[in-house]
Amino acid sequence: MRRMFALVLLAVPVFLSSAGRAADTPTMSQPSGLIANVEHRKTISLNGTWHYIVDPYDNGYYDYRHQPRKDGFFQNEKPKTPRDLVEYDFDKSDTIQVPGDWNSQKKELFYYEGTVWYQRAFTYRKPAGSRVFLYVGAANYLSRLYVNGAPACEHEGGFTSFNCEVTSQVKDGDNFVVIYVNNQRRRDAVPTDMTDWWNYGGLTRDVELVEVPNAFLEDYFLQAPKGASGVVDGWVQVSGGTLPVTVRIPELKLEQKVQPDAGGRGAIHFTAPGLKLWSPGQPKLYDVELEAGGEVVRDTIGFRTIEVRGRDILVNGTSVFLRGICMHEEAPARPGRAHSEADATTLLGWVKELNGNFARLAHYPHNRNMSRVADRTGLFLWSEIPVYWTIDWENPATLANAKRQLAEMIRRDKNRASVVLWSVGNETPVIPARLTFMTELVKTAHQLDQSRPVTAALETHYAEPNVKMIDDPLGKELDVLGCNEYVGWYERTPEDADAISWKTVYDKPLVMSEFGGDARAGLHGSADARWTEEYQENIYRHQIVMLQKIDFLRGTSPWILNDFRSPRRVLPGIQDNYNRKGLVSDRGERKKAFAVLKEFYAALAAKWER
C-alpha cells in the first residue's frame, strides 16, 4: 500500500489543557502562534545571567488562602518607604545562567522539583510600527511569563518552543522580565510522573525578544511535494493583515509574489527543473527569502520527498535504511541539558562517526539546533512527543496537552528536511483507552503535516518460544512501526538473540527503535559479567545476528548514544544516577560496543548505498 504524503497544513485548534493550572490560577493568555524561524528574525537575546528565587511553596504566586497574589514575585517590588513590607528581592538574590537547567548549575537544586522564579532587567527601545514577542525555546515544565509586572502568557510542556506578544507590556528604557518555572511531575501531565530521565527544570533553552512589523509573516512551509519532481509547493501565513509576501529562491532564479486570502494564508508554487534534492549523501540546502511588510526572512531549506510503500521507506524515490541511534537531550561530556549548536554538532558528529545517517531524538522534541545541524550535515531525524509509558489516557485535558505539544513540535520543525518521522509516543500499554488516545494523536499529526510518516515506539511479545510478534493494534494507524526490545539485557541472554526470528501482522516498514544494555565505561571482564563493556559489546554482536534476518527491517536506533542521568538508576559505583546504556560515557569515553555498531553500519551503508 503506497501512502502518499502530500502537503496540507491545517490550523488545528489545540488549547492549553487546564490540567497545568490549579483551579484558582488566574487565566493567563495562551502563547501566540510560534513565529517561524525565530533564529533568523530580528531578536534581542535575553540569555545570560538572571536572578532567581527558589519557591517550593509557590509563596510568590499564592497567598496563605491559596489565592493568587496581586503582589506576587512577578511584580519585582521594592520597598518605597522604610515601613513597606516586601519579603523578596531579586537584585539581592543569587544568579543563574540562561539557557541551562537549574539541577546541574546549583548543587542545592540537583533533585529540586518545584517553582523557581527567574528575573532580569533589560533596556529596550521599540522601533516604530513594530510588534514585540517574548520567545522561550523551552521551559520545563509549566511556565508563566511577565514583563514589567504584567502577565504575558503561560505554557505547559517542557520541550516545545513558544512565544507571546509583549508589545503593550514593554516600554522604552528600563524593563524587567520575570518567568515562573515549575517542574513538578504530575500524573495527568505529558510526560506523566514516571520517566527514565532526569527532570531537569528551568529555562533550558534560549530566551529572546523578537521584533516583527505590525503586519508580518508569521509562518510558512515549503517542501517538494510527492510524485512531482522539480516542484516546490507550500504556503505563507501572515498576521495582522493580508499583506503580500514575495518568496524567492535566488539560486534557482525563482520568485513568486503571494497574495494571502482574508485569513492571511497564501499558496506557494514553483516549478524548479534544476532542483537538487536533499539527502544525507547530498544535504543540499537552498537559501530562501520571504519578504513581507518590510521584513526579509531568510531561511535555508532542503527539499526532499518521503513516502512509505509496503515495507519500504522511500526518500526521493529510493528505498533507504535508517542507520541510527537514540539520544536524550543530555549534554555531551558535561552534566545537564544540551542546548547549544556546539552540543548538537558534537552529538550528531558522534552519529556520523558511527557511520550512521539517523538519530532518534528521544523522548521529547529536542532544541532547534539539532534539526538545523542535521539539515546541514545530512542526517535523518525521528522527533517525538513525551507520551511515554503510562499516561492518564482517559483525561481529556491530558489528550489536549499531548495534541498541543504535537502541534508545537510540528510547527517549529516542519521546514527541516532532516526530520523524517513524527513519533507520537513510546512504550505505551496495549489497552483500549491508550489506543483511542494514540489514534487521535496519529490523526492530528496527519492533519497537521501530511508530508511526513507518523510512527511510535511499540512493544512486542513472543508468539512462540523464539518468535517475536509485532501485532500492537496501534500499528494499524502508524505509517512506520517502531519497536523496542532488550534481548540480552531485560530478557533472555545475549546469545539467545541468534535463534529469535520476528513476525509482523502489518505490511509496513519496521525501525527497531531500541535495544542494548548498560556498561560502566572502563569496567572490563568476561562477556558474561553484566555491567562490563564486554557484556554490552556481546549484546550488540548477537542483536546484529538477529536483526539481519528481519526482512521488513528498514532502520535501527539502539538505546543509546551517551549515558544520561536518571533517578531510577542508583546502583553505586556503576550507575550513580546514570542510565549506562550509552555507547559513549558521560565523560565522552567510547565503549567497546561503539566499534561493533560502527562496523555494522559501515556494512549496511555499503549494502544500501552502493
C-alpha distances in angstroms, 275 versus 8, 78, 286, 302, 307? 21, 60, 9, 10, 19
Residue nearer to ligand GCU on the CB measure, 143 or 426: 426
Smallest distance from ligand GCU to CB 128, Å: 51
# chain residues binding ligand GCU, by CB under 6 A: 9
- If the CB atoms of residues 427 and 586 are measured against ligand GCU, the closer one turns out to be 427
Cα–Cα distance for residue pair 24/450, rounded to 1 Å: 39
Residue by residue, DSSP assigns 430-454 as: -SHHHHHHHHHHHHHHHHH-TTS-E
In the complex, the smallest distance separating the C-beta of residue 203 from ligand GCU, rounded to whole angstroms, is: 24
Instruction: Tell me: does residue 514 bind ligand GCU (CB under 6 A).
Output: yes
Cβ 588 to ligand GCU, closest distance in Å?
20
Residue with smaller CB distance to ligand GCU, 281 or 567: 567
Cell output for 472: 500492537
Which positions from 570 through 589 interact with ligand GCU, judged by CB under 6 A? Answer: 579, 581
Whose grid coordinates read 510526560?
Answer: 191
Q: What angle do CA 238, 239, 240 make, to 5 degrees?
A: 125
- Show contacts with ligand GCU in window 390-429 (CB under 6 A): 426-427
236 in Cβ contact with 35 (< 8 Å):
no
| Smallest distance from ligand GCU to CB 17, Å | 23
Tell me the CA distances in angstroms from 154 to 135, 142, 552, one per residue in order: 12, 8, 44
Tell me which residues in 530-559 interact with ligand GCU (CB under 6 A): 559
Sign of CA dihedral 226, 227, 229, 230: negative
* Residue 514 Cβ vs ligand GCU, minimum distance, rounded to whole Å: 5
Residue in 357, 450, 484, 575 binding ligand GCU, rule: CB under 6 A: 484
Residue 333 beta carbon to ligand GCU: minimum distance, rounded to whole angstroms: 20
Residues forming a β-bridge with 146: 151, 178
Q: Which is nearer to ligand GCU, 346 or 426 (CB)?
A: 426
> How distant is the alpha carbon of residue 271 from its chain centre?
32
Q: x-or-dash pattern for ligand GCU, window 155-174, by CB under 6 A? A: --------------------
Query: Least distance from C-beta 331 to ligand GCU, angstroms?
Result: 17
In the complex with ligand GCU, the residue whose CB is nearer, 502 or 564, is 564
| First-residue to last-residue Cα distance in the chain | 26
Q: Residue 340 CA to chain centroid, in angstroms?
A: 14
Nearer to ligand GCU, 40 or 568 (CB): 568
Q: With 0-12 CB in 10 A as exposed, 13-18 as middle and 19+ as buried, what is 173?
A: exposed
Whose Cβ is closer to ligand GCU: residue 380's or residue 489's? 489
DSSP annotation of 122: E
- In the complex with ligand GCU, which residue's Cβ is closer, 543 or 579? 579
Other C-beta atoms lying within 10 Å of the C-beta of residue 284: 18
Nearer to ligand GCU by C-beta: 162 or 388? 388
CB of 537 to ligand GCU, least distance (A): 17
CB neighbours of 455 closer than 8 A, spacing ≥ 6? 382, 421, 422, 423, 424, 478, 479, 480, 481, 482, 511, 513
The binding track of 208-227 with respect to ligand GCU, each residue x by CB under 6 A or -, is --------------------
Binding residues among 64-83 for ligand GCU as defined by CB under 6 A: none
Measured CA to CA, the distance from residue 193 to residue 186 in angstroms comes to 5
Using an 8 Å Cβ cutoff, are 235 and 9 in contact?
yes
CB 539, min distance to ligand GCU, A:
12
Tell me which residues in 320-379 interact with ligand GCU (CB under 6 A): 363
Q: What residue number has its CB nearest to ligand GCU? A: 196
Angle at Cα 217 formed by Cα 214 and Cα 218, nearest 5°? 95
Q: Taking the complex as a whole, how short is the minimal distance between the CB of residue 482 and ligand GCU, in angstroms?
A: 10
When the beta carbons of 177 and 387 are compared against ligand GCU, the nearer one is 387
Q: Verify binding: residue 307, ligand GCU, rule CB under 6 A.
A: no
239 contacts ligand GCU (rule: CB under 6 A): no
What residues make contact with ligand GCU under the rule CB under 6 A? 196, 363, 426-427, 484, 514, 559, 579, 581
